[in-house]
Structure 1
Amino acid sequence: MSQNLIVLKTAQKYLIIILLFLEIVPKLQAQTITRGPYLQQLSNSGVIVHWRTNVATESVVKVYQSDSTQVTSVADSQLTTEHVVQISNLKPDTPYHYSVGTTAQTLASGKDFYFITGPPTGSARPINIWAMGDFGDESTKIYMETQKGIKDSYLKNRPAFTDLWLWLGDNAYCCGTQAQYQKQVFDFYGSSIFGNTSFSAVPGNHEYFASPTGRVDRKIPYFDIISVPTKGEMGGISSNEKAYYSYDYGNVHIIALDSDGYDDGKYRVYDEKSKQYQWLKKDLAANNAMWTIVMFHHPPYTKRSHDSDAEPELQYIREHLVPLFDQYKVDLVLTGHSHIYERSYLMKNHKGHSMSFNKDIHVVQDVNGRYDADAGSRPFINKNEGTIYCVVGSAGRLDWNGSHEVHPSSIYSNISIGGSLFLTVNGNRLDGRWICADNVERDHFSVFKNVNKRENFHVEYGSKVHLTSSWKGSHVWSNGNTKDSEIDYQALRAETVIVKDSLGFLEDDFVITVTPQPIISTDITESEVCPGQSVKASFNLQHTDFNKWNYVLELSDANGSFDTPTVLAKLNQNTVQFTLPDNLAEGPNYRVRVRPDADFFEEHPSQSFRFNKPAKGGFVGEKNIPFDTLVTLNLRFTGTAPYTYKLSNMPESVTESSDVSIKINPNQAATYVLESLSNACGNGKIDADNAKVSILAPLSVEDDNNMVFSIFPNPVSSDLMIENKTGKTIKTQLSLLDLSGKKVLNKTLMIEKREIISLEGIPAGNYILKLKTPSLKVSKKITKI
């Protein structure tokens, strides 16, 4: 093979590699998210994460706890641009962060991407819902400004976490195409909302404009965007249709209906032959949640944008669906379609023309529901029947048909500015706030169930009664508590405890009657007690059952006070033998009491008794005392006086004093021993280490006038000077003895002129210094200070 051919083939090989590299690298670099990620079907155990990429990739979602510990990772190796990943087996009511991407690359993560799993079914913890319809329209400036203002007002007013975002149809104009959803919804709201807020949606008529046959076959982009619980996996009856579904979230049951599409190509939701209508009846009948919210697009009651008197489909919904809502006591119906905000009375049984609406017949509670300080602004109280209808169709679009006629069922209606509805369900309370594009709240309402209750309690005196108000909100208790929704009340007398809300619309009454106050009395037989002595105590009960309580025997302080009692024993019968602890201070005013595990008994402790401490003692001071013509022996006693004691060679004595000094005149060495000690507790304890003292024999005469050495200073604190007065070097043996004769220092010195002897480390006291030379012995008493 020629050299040129080899070079050509090699070049071809590298060219192929380069071309492959140039083809692969852009694809790797081009992996970007073009939609999302966004959340669907948030439950108390999981969530579905959607996102779209510009090229087909595998799908990986990683979930983390708040401390960044990875909880789970779910991967799907199938290459796709439309990623849908189900996350399961999470804990309820728990915050998580997440990221999405591929096994090789994270495409989205950070502060926007989190969720909190739903509460357990039936939980009463607060649930925050954001509801809106008829948004996603950029065809006019006013629509775009309205949508932006509502987004901004949401971001300013959003709660710590929004559980659900409800879309009420006509979500992307004009026709619900993928491009319109992308630009006017997903790009517009962005990851700061979509990354952490799960939405549930219903289609409007504009969703179906995406296809000429959309209403019949339901093959429109909207259904490719959403994932909904069609199998009853979050509660509710299985619908097996993405167009309509239901689920439970805490104590709320949400039903989503398709009011524009056709079942079997011919039946709308209001047709009683439709599968959707039949499913709705079954779902409502099976529902046991405290709150029921139904959402769909077309309102049964509306004026000034669409007109429910003039449009047949709105009339049919009113005639066929409203009776179901009345029968099953639906609490709230949310719709759009009319580009206006309208809120109705709590109402029922109205199916006809608006002119037939009669407040006396159709309004369940004739209040405005605003629940504020304005006169007559009462909430809806003890809602048991009737429904509130809210049209929330001005979250982008804002249209007026020229009519000034407000539907007579409306408590509040506004066509001049757009807004969205913030809902909070907190136990048996539901609040709605309509916040507008200018960040002003223009309507609010509150609904309560099962409030204003009256309860009777007949309890034993002093027992704790747990009282819980029947609502969430402000509380003013008759005992002065203005902070808590529930209190523990100790029943010490018959009375009615009342709790009200701060505006006086709500009131619970708790009627409490009590038995007579229980009494407990304690007795002992002794008036004086010593350590180790067994003492018997007994107690008696009145107005209560012995077996109801646990008991302890308590000891007062020396002054008879039980402010800080000492527990001596636990009791399971009404008599007990006990001994007092040795470490008690002596005193004449001790008492005992038997105390139950309650603080409301009338208590009668025992009579006072005296606690005596056994005698202890010994000599204090030096154990070896230098001989003197007058010597003092010092004794110290503890325990209860008087003390009886005897020293050897002395008669027995009695003293009240704890410190005793005895003067003696020795004439020779002697030893004194404390032979006995006693008091009221019998024979005392003599300290063995201090049981005797010795008086030393007189010392030999010291040579203070020798002409050889000068010894100074005396007393000495640290350094002792020995000065040689002869002018010649003298070899000297030095010894320092304590008064017992023990050498504490011993050394040989060659003293020329002056020698310094360090006494550092030698205890203070009296010592004998001895100096010995070949021709001289010197003995001198030295005091170390």
Structure 2
Amino acid sequence: MYSFSSSVSAIPLYNKNGCSSSITTFKKLSFTTCCSYKLKKLSLSINNPCYNNNNINIMSKCLKSIATFPLLIHTLLCFLLFPQPLLSHDISGFVRLPARPTIITPHQLSESEPQQVHISLVGRDKMRVSWITEGKHTKSVVEYGTKSGEYSKKATGKHTSYQYFFYNSGRIHNAVIGPLEPSTTYFYRCGGSGPEFSFKTPPPKLPIEFVIVGDLGQTEWTASTLKHVDSSDYDVFLLPGDLSYADTQQPLWDSFGRLVQPYASKRPWMVTEGNHEMEIFPIIYPHGFKAYNARWAMPFQESGSTSNLYYSFEVASTHVIMLGSYTDFDAQSEQYTWLQNDLANIDRSKTPWVIVLLHAPWYNTNEAHQGEGESMRKVMEDLLYQARVDLVFAGHVHAYERFTRIYDNKADSCGPIYVTVGDGGNREGLALNFKSPPSPLSLYREPSFGHGRLKIVDETRAYWSWHRNNDTDAVIADGVWIESLSRSKACSGRPDQKVVHEEL
């Protein structure tokens, strides 16, 4: 595997905010169209931030002639011919502050030593353990038990690997362990040796607490957010896209895995993709998500999905749906059909809470990324409304914003509450500018880093709180009690019997 030299890590790469919007303003295709990044790290600039889910990815038009160029040649040409400005902006005039350097988390263990260990839920009583080794003779085995140092059970899994240009990944191991008892601490080790890890399984019934934060990256801000998250107990970590901000630089995936291992190895991390996971290169890697799908396997098959980019799971009377903003979502798509079936099969008498996560927000009053989730909203919003989804969480916009219950751009007491939590700490910085005057539908908005917590108390009540990063403390800046729509008498009738108020 590649290691990062100091000369490379000292000049990190930052992408252009609102790249897809900026692309649409060019009069004609040029090299600038292909170079959506400032060269602050030796990197290929063509990947997911240039994808706009309202428009086609026009990258392929300018790359066919250079698709086989080495990474360095293409990046240097971009830099020399079309240097980028110090501050990036989109067509709305939004200006993002200079970015924060990426922190590289090194690997200093032996080749056979497990690294980047993380766990994820599989069904109601199993857990997937994922890790990477650099050696070629390590086994995909997890030993586990309820006492430290005593591993009474063992599960054997499989391993995979992938290549991205000149980068070759290590062995990516996945093993599913279980059945497991709820609310129980298990101790485990990977590959038959190495350090011991532990995790606690979620409870079998309410209450349950989720941590929700998007657009993490790997900066000092990220480290602060994760430290604040870890300061209080929780059951499941939910991430609505934009994990490592590797942006084709595969060693950054490894660095991210090592950064989050202390947290992701002891609580299940359930993630969905963002634009920074795409890593598309026309002709060579036209479908994208190569690293994401290999490294972050989610339980899509268990929920009837055909893609790791969207899936659902149930835990403690809560149905969680992870949608894909950057794969097909039109009414004829597999994702749309899957979502229809998934929502139809929820028994709200047994599962009173339904929450949805996706990356590009459907409602947004920030100047950044305006309208990028609109086409998906128009197609899928009716499905969520008819199913009485309680909350929809998104990332992408690097700020916090909470809306009232909404349906079709109007306040609606039977619609979901929409929350943007793209404030995990990524290197691009905060989206500081909100539209003025504020919409009456937007109840709280703030451009600060932090994380959210959803504590579902019982079948009727949940408490949502947003915790601002404030030096050494995570300050509760916003909080609200929420009633489940499945228990609301006003919303128990036909979906078209809605209460309409203000327009967005």
TM-score bracket, normalised by the shorter chain, equals 0.5 to 0.7
Secondary structure of the corresponding residue to residue 306 of structure 1: coil
Are residues 1:341 and 2:400 paired? yes
Aligned to 1:444, which of 458, 473, 479?
A: 479
Are residues 1:173 and 2:205 paired? no
- Gap change, CA 1:215 and 1:294, over 3 Å in 2: farther
Output aligned runs, 1:528-607, within 5 Å. Answer: none
**Residue type of the alignment partner of 1:283:** D
Aligned residue number for residue 456 of structure 2? 425
Larger Rg: 1
Q: Tell whether the 8 Å contact from 2:126 to 2:180 is kept in structure 1 after alignment.
A: yes
Cα distance in 2 for partners of 1:91, 1:78 equals 26
Q: Tell whether the 8 Å contact from 1:168 to 1:296 is kept in structure 2 after alignment.
A: yes
What stretches of structure 1 of length at least 5 have no aligned partner? 1-28, 138-143, 262-267, 351-356, 365-384, 454-785
Secondary structure of the corresponding residue to residue 206 of structure 1: helix
Aligned to 1:204, which of 274, 277, 281?
A: 274
Are residues 1:135 and 2:222 paired? no
Cα distance in 1 for partners of 2:293, 2:381 equals 27
Cα distance in 1 for partners of 2:423, 2:159 equals 41
Aligned to 1:39, which of 94, 100, 119?
A: 119
- The count of corresponding residues between Structure 1 and Structure 2 is 360
Secondary structure of the corresponding residue to residue 189 of structure 1: helix
- Gap change, CA 1:452 and 1:179, over 3 Å in 2: closer
Aligned residue number for residue 393 of structure 1? 422
- Gap change, CA 1:295 and 1:177, over 3 Å in 2: farther
- TM-superposed deviation, 1:451: 7.6
Secondary structure of the corresponding residue to residue 252 of structure 2: helix
Aligned residue number for residue 3 of structure 2? none
Cα distance in 2 for partners of 1:43, 1:392 equals 26
Post-superposition CA distance 1:514-567 (Å, at most 9, x none): xxxxxxxxxxxxxxxxxxxxxxxxxxxxxxxxxxxxxxxxxxxxxxxxxxxxxx
- Gap change, CA 1:67 and 1:182, over 3 Å in 2: closer
C-alpha RMSD over aligned residues: 2.7
Q: Tell whether the 8 Å contact from 1:215 to 1:260 is kept in structure 2 after alignment.
A: no
Aligned residue number for residue 311 of structure 2? 245
Aligned residue number for residue 225 of structure 2? 150
Post-superposition CA distance 1:326-364 (Å, at most 9, x none): 1110001010011110101123342xxxxxx4xxxx242
Q: Tell whether the 8 Å contact from 1:115 to 1:196 is kept in structure 2 after alignment.
A: yes
- TM-superposed deviation, 1:40: 1.9
Output aligned runs, 1:284-433, within 5 Å. Answer: 284-288=343-347, 289-308=351-370, 311=371, 313-350=372-409, 357=410, 362-364=411-413, 385-397=414-426, 398-400=429-431, 402-405=433-436, 406-415=438-447, 417-428=448-459, 429-433=461-465
Cα distance in 2 for partners of 1:100, 1:85 equals 9
**Residue type of the alignment partner of 1:187:** R
Cα distance in 2 for partners of 1:255, 1:49 equals 21
Cα distance in 2 for partners of 1:163, 1:213 equals 42
Aligned residue number for residue 254 of structure 1? 320
Cα distance in 1 for partners of 2:248, 2:386 equals 34
- Gap change, CA 1:346 and 1:85, over 3 Å in 2: same
Secondary structure of the corresponding residue to residue 182 of structure 1: helix
TM-score by length of 2: 0.66
Q: Tell whether the 8 Å contact from 2:202 to 2:236 is kept in structure 1 after alignment.
A: no
Q: Tell whether the 8 Å contact from 1:62 to 1:74 is kept in structure 2 after alignment.
A: yes
Aligned residue number for residue 257 of structure 2? 186
- Gap change, CA 1:126 and 1:304, over 3 Å in 2: same
- Gap change, CA 1:210 and 1:316, over 3 Å in 2: closer
Aligned to 2:290, which of 212, 220, 225?
A: 220
TM-score by length of 1: 0.43
Cα distance in 1 for partners of 2:208, 2:283 equals 38
Secondary structure of the corresponding residue to residue 394 of structure 1: coil
**Which structure features the higher share of helix residues?**
2
Q: Tell whether the 8 Å contact from 2:211 to 2:451 is kept in structure 1 after alignment.
A: yes
Cα distance in 2 for partners of 1:299, 1:283 equals 21
**Which structure features the higher share of strand residues?**
1
- Gap change, CA 1:63 and 1:182, over 3 Å in 2: same
- Gap change, CA 1:343 and 1:240, over 3 Å in 2: same
**Relative contact order: is structure 1 or structure 2 higher (C-alpha 8 Å, sep ≥ 6)?**
2
Aligned to 1:48, which of 128, 131, 138?
A: 128
Aligned residue number for residue 167 of structure 2? none
Secondary structure of the corresponding residue to residue 225 of structure 2: helix
Cα distance in 2 for partners of 1:77, 1:452 equals 46
Secondary structure of the corresponding residue to residue 275 of structure 2: coil
**Residue type of the alignment partner of 2:237:** W
- TM-superposed deviation, 1:167: 1.4
Cα distance in 2 for partners of 1:207, 1:304 equals 23
- Gap change, CA 1:214 and 1:152, over 3 Å in 2: farther
**Residue type of the alignment partner of 1:166:** L
- TM-superposed deviation, 1:148: 2.5
- Gap change, CA 1:133 and 1:31, over 3 Å in 2: same
**Residue type of the alignment partner of 2:462:** L
Secondary structure of the corresponding residue to residue 321 of structure 1: helix
- Gap change, CA 1:93 and 1:215, over 3 Å in 2: farther
Q: Tell whether the 8 Å contact from 1:163 to 1:197 is kept in structure 2 after alignment.
A: yes
Cα distance in 2 for partners of 1:329, 1:210 equals 35
Cα distance in 2 for partners of 1:332, 1:133 equals 15
Cα distance in 1 for partners of 2:374, 2:423 equals 21
